[in-house]
C-alpha cells in the first residue's frame, strides 16, 4: 500500500504542469556581446608606396627625355631655335639669362632673408637659407661635371656628340648648363619651402624653364645641356632642403656665445654657435 502511494506521488510530481525546469548554469551560456567591429582592408603595395613610385617615374621620365634629346633632338632643336630666332627672343633672353647667374640669385635670397627677418616671416628666411645653400652646392657639382665632360658648345660646332673629357683644355664647358642648374636650384628651394602654395612653385619652375630656353636661343647650349642642368639643379635643391630639415631636427639646443679675445697683443671678439 505504501509503495503504491509513493508511486502515485512521484508520477504526479513528474507530470505536474507549470513546474519550471532549472537549467544548469555550467552548461548554458548566453553571449552578451552583440557589437560588430569592421576592420578596413590593408592598403595595397602601390598605395603604400605611391610617392616613391611617382618620384621614381619622374626620374625615369627625365632620364628618357635626356637620352632622347641627346640622341635625336639636339641638332634639330638647335637648327629650329636658330632659324626662328628674332629680336623678340633675343631681347627676352637678355632679360632672362641673368636670372641664372650669381648676383641676381644672391640679391633675391638676401632680400628674402631681410624681409623675412623684419616682417617675422620664418618661411622667407628658410627659403633664403635653403636657396643660397643649394646654389653653392649646385655650383660645385655643375663645375665638376663641366670639367669632367668638356662638351663643345653649339656655337663652335654642329657635332652635338663632341666631348673632350677630363683631359681637355677646359675651354669647352657646355654640359651641363650652369645658368639652368642655378635657376632650377633656386626654384626648387623656393618651391620646396612654399610647397603648400599653389602658384609659387609653378612660377618658380616657370622662370627657371625660361632661363634654360634662353640659353638655347642664344646658341650657348644644346637641348640636352639644358635638361641636364635642370636635373642637377632640381636634385641639389631637394637635397639641400632635406638636409636643412634634418639638421634642424637634430639641433636640440643652440645659443650664441660671444667672448672677448686677447691674443698676441690684439683684441677681438669670438663668437660660437653652441648646439
| pLDDT digit string, tens, across residues 63-94 | 777 777 777 889 999 999 999 999 999 999 99
Distance CA 133, CA 240 (A): 7
At 45, is the pLDDT very low, low, confident or very high (cuts 50, 70, 90)? low
Distance CA 259, CA 268 (A): 9
Residues 268, 261 contacting (CB under 8 angstroms): yes
Mean pLDDT (the chain, rounded) = 81
| pLDDT digit string, tens, across residues 134-181 | 999 999 999 999 999 999 999 999 999 999 999 988 899 999 999 999
Q: Which residues pair with 238 in a beta bridge?
A: none
Among 138, 168, 139, 134, smallest CA distance to 151 is for: 168
Distance CA 128, CA 88 (A): 32
**Domains located in the chain, CATH noted:** 56-249 (1.20.144)
Q: What is the pLDDT of residue 44?
A: 67
Phi first, then psi, for residue 39 (nearest 5°) are: -105, 115
Q: What is the pLDDT of residue 63?
A: 72
Bridge pairing between strands 266-274 and 255-263: antiparallel
| pLDDT digit string, tens, across residues 224-272 | 999 999 999 999 999 999 999 988 887 655 565 655 656 666 556 566 6
Query: What is the pTM for the complete model shown?
Result: 0.72
Residues 222, 78 contacting (CB under 8 angstroms): yes
Residues 262, 253 contacting (CB under 8 angstroms): no
Amino acid at each position: 500500500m505504501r509503495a503504491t502511494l509513493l508511486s502515485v506521488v512521484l508520477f504526479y510530481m513528474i507530470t505536474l504542469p507549470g513546474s519550471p525546469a532549472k537549467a544548469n548554469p555550467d552548461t548554458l551560456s548566453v553571449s552578451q556581446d552583440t557589437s560588430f567591429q569592421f576592420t578596413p582592408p590593408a592598403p595595397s603595395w602601390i598605395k603604400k608606396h605611391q610617392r616613391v613610385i611617382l618620384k621614381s617615374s619622374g626620374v625615369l621620365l627625365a632620364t628618357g627625355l635626356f637620352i632622347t634629346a641627346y640622341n635625336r633632338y639636339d641638332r634639330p632643336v638647335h637648327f629650329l631655335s636658330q632659324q626662328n630666332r628674332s629680336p623678340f627672343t633675343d631681347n627676352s633672353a637678355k632679360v632672362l639669362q641673368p636670372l641664372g647667374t650669381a648676383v641676381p640669385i644672391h640679391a633675391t635670397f638676401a632680400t628674402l632673408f631681410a624681409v623675412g627677418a623684419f616682417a617675422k616671416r620664418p618661411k622667407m628666411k628658410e627659403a633664403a637659407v635653403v636657396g643660397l645653400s643649394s646654389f653653392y652646392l649646385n655650383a660645385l657639382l655643375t663645375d665638376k661635371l663641366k670639367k669632367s665632360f668638356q662638351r663643345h658648345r653649339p656655337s663652335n660646332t654642329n657635332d652635338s656628340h663632341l666631348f673632350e673629357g677630363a683631359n681637355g683644355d677646359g675651354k669647352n664647358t657646355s654640359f651641363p648648363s650652369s645658368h639652368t642648374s642655378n635657376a632650377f636650384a633656386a626654384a626648387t628651394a623656393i618651391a620646396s619651402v612654399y610647397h603648400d602654395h599653389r602658384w609659387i612653385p609653378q612660377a618658380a619652375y616657370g622662370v627657371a624653364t625660361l632661363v634654360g630656353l634662353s640659353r638655347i636661343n642664344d646658341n650657348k647650349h644644346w637641348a640636352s645641356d639644358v635638361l641636364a642642368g635642370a636635373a642637377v639643379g632640381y636634385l641639389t635643391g631637394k637635397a639641400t632642403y632635406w638636409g636643412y630639415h634634418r639638421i634642424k631636427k637634430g639641433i636640440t639646443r643652440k645659443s650664441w656665445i660671444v667672448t672677448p679675445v686677447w691674443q698676441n697683443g690684439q683684441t677681438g671678439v669670438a663668437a660660437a654657435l653652441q648646439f
